[in-house]
Chain A
């Protein structure tokens, strides 16, 4: 009894000590307005006029996924943080209260915050989050502050009912053929083949070397759509068909014959891939390509940076790897698919305080300038705004990538205006189909069912 009492007392004392030190420093919930009351002289100055908000101390809360660690390896994070820091330096009166989390955790937290109507001031958006909050008057309408034509996606990604609610912070293109030019030269191709038939013929050569012709890394199951199937759909089913699906007017259906044909053609590419494509991940695939252990890999605009990072262990590889457009079945030019995976919007509650609203809008506008895109261009990647790229400092593969992007039709991924549940079903059904557990018809039927369940 004595021993228990003693330990209990010690613990209680410890708790009290901790509580007294911690209590004073613990903060309130995220959305609490920490602004001082608007100054009487400032009043309600126009956004383009006096700019009194630059004199007030204003707090803006943000949650995003760009941690200092990811910034080391991921260019988009690094450049975003650079822009964010520049804003903070230009406006020292605005205190940015930043929380950075890992990429799946950030959306887990945003879900909970959105559900309880406690979003931060600056809201990190992806398609699912945007769909969840757009109808419920939780985001500030910022149409009047942005020029649609300035952006590659015309701000369509985060628009609803004609109003703009968010600005893109990333623009990613997903289907480039990164190939080992030396190996393909050995196989007899100075330029990467433009049809899948030719690639399949080259398969023999790579098999004899014991390496996969093309790596496929579908661990994050959206790769199947992004790297391959979106372009195949545009080729086999036609861009009008894809757009009809997006229009949701019932004129196009996933169970149409041409979609089934597209699926079956997709499956014919299986011999080219590594057998563990379902569980392989992109990071590993890029490493394999860099080590010379594969012929090629279809992936997105972030890969070039990774390959450059591998140059230390595999000298010269950054010059040997080149980029070509993906092949097609019929030999037509393929489409390059893009997406705006994330962006930023503003919590409608910032409008309660005019100074805060102006500061928040200024922040959003700052993010929406061409700064980010310019910084990305410096390292050979792309941003939401079209900028001039100085090709001279870039590796051949990066110059190739820009050439491919600029000379081919850029189309959004089919999922960009479909509900998240349909996107999930497409990814899962494609994976099941490619692993052989369902037929093409069944795959199409599954996707169609999910699609119909979401039709207005």
Chain B
């Protein structure tokens, strides 16, 4: 924090921060409040709103597909935290090293997947996993392991494992770019001093880089949790939530309820559920990651 006397007048601060606050309030908070209100009604159009109190929520708790979807969301969060951020951190350390060639090119290229739309990514990977013509099936058969080849995306027990691969692959670049830009603020001399002391690459990464980019990493964690609670397009593109509900996630289930069945009251209740669960997970992760520094915000 800066010294109080460097803080501009109240009016100046308000002038800078009020416009975005107002717009954000109108575009996100107001519709959210409307959605919460809708969750207490049964309706498909505003001409006929039937107040049902907590009925939608009672249905929600009893609906086993909600729990299945939530389980899948949590699975994706855990896997992607490790896969996306973990791998991105390692790659960032590699790219930040003195001995890397074409770091700029790598950085540019690794972001390409992030620019692809989820539909494209979903389609490409469902092609890779295809039972008949997929690349993996082809390789395994060529190597003589034909019996391992199964329709992975069509089996309830394997579908989630295979669905998370494209998610990890696509967003490594996203976290990589964020982590790298944070790493640029670390002075090279710190590394040089550590090297003189004989620190290995691994040691440098864990003891120097990691603590210094802690704030950025917590941003990445936040974004990863949020994105995986809201994940939608990839699942729809690859499996449509199937087989049955084996790969369904909350956003997919909400969409089907809201837009395929036009049960907007229950759909709003599901959205509130997503909101509450995401906030809970988020607070939990804060508690786990909070440290003595106290500047985390």
Residues of A within 8 A of B (CB): 107-108, 111, 114-117, 128-129, 131-133, 135-138, 219-221, 274-280, 419-421, 424, 428-429, 431-432, 434-438
Q: Contact at B240–A221, with CB atoms within 8 Å?
A: yes
Give the contacting residue for A219; candidates B240, B245, B256; CB below 8 A: B240
Q: Contact at A420–B260, with CB atoms within 8 Å?
A: yes
Binary contact track B25-66/A, C-beta < 8 Å → 1, others 0: 000000000000000000111111000000000000000010
Q: Which residue of B lies closest to A219 (CB)?
A: B240
Interface 9-mer from B101-109, B152-160, B176-184, B287-295: B152-160
A261 CB to nearest B CB, Å: 21
The B interface, classified by DSSP as helix, strand, loop or mixed, is loop
Contacts A278-B151, A279-B126, A420-B260 hold; do A114 and B239 have CB atoms under 8 A apart? no
Q: Contact at B47–A437, with CB atoms within 8 Å?
A: no
Q: For window 238-297 of chain B, which residues contact chain A by CB distance below 8 Å?
A: 239-246, 256-264
Q: Which residues of A contact B154 (CB under 8 A)?
A: 275-280, 435
The 3 A-B pairs with the shortest beta carbon distances in the complex, nearest first, are: A278-B154, A432-B244, A276-B151
Residues of B within 8 A of A (CB): 43-48, 65, 126, 130-132, 150-151, 153-157, 239-246, 256-264
Contacts A278-B154, A428-B244, A432-B246 hold; do A420 and B261 have CB atoms under 8 A apart? yes
Q: Which residues of B contact A428 (CB under 8 A)?
A: 65, 241-242, 244-245
Known A115-B264, A437-B156; 10 more pairs at CB < 8 Å: A111-B262, A115-B44, A117-B47, A277-B151, A277-B154, A279-B131, A428-B241, A435-B155, A435-B243, A435-B244
State the CA gap A108–B236 with chains docked (Å).
Answer: 14
Q: Contact at A131–B131, with CB atoms within 8 Å?
A: no
Q: Contact at A279–B151, with CB atoms within 8 Å?
A: yes
Q: Which residues of B contact A115 (CB under 8 A)?
A: 43-46, 262, 264
Q: Which residues of B contact A278 (CB under 8 A)?
A: 151, 153-155, 242-243
A101 CB to nearest B CB, Å: 13
State the CA gap A429–B263 with chains docked (Å).
Answer: 20
Q: Contact at A132–B242, with CB atoms within 8 Å?
A: no
State the CA gap A137–B47 with chains docked (Å).
Answer: 9
Q: Contact at A435–B156, with CB atoms within 8 Å?
A: yes
Q: Which residue of A lies closest to B137 (CB)?
A: A276
Q: Which residues of B contact A424 (CB under 8 A)?
A: 256, 260-261
Q: Contact at B264–A221, with CB atoms within 8 Å?
A: no
Q: Which residues of A contact B46 (CB under 8 A)?
A: 115-117
A206 CB to nearest B CB, Å: 15
State the CA gap A117–B261 with chains docked (Å).
Answer: 17
Q: Contact at A114–B262, with CB atoms within 8 Å?
A: yes
**Can you sample 26 A-B contacts with CB below 8 Å?**
A111-B258, A115-B45, A115-B46, A116-B45, A117-B47, A128-B260, A131-B44, A131-B262, A132-B44, A132-B262, A133-B45, A135-B48, A138-B45, A221-B242, A275-B151, A276-B131, A278-B151, A279-B151, A279-B243, A421-B263, A428-B65, A428-B245, A432-B243, A435-B244, A436-B156, A437-B246
Q: Which residue of B lies closest to A438 (CB)?
A: B244
State the CA gap A419–B266 with chains docked (Å).
Answer: 15
Q: Contact at A136–B151, with CB atoms within 8 Å?
A: no
Q: Contact at B132–A276, with CB atoms within 8 Å?
A: yes
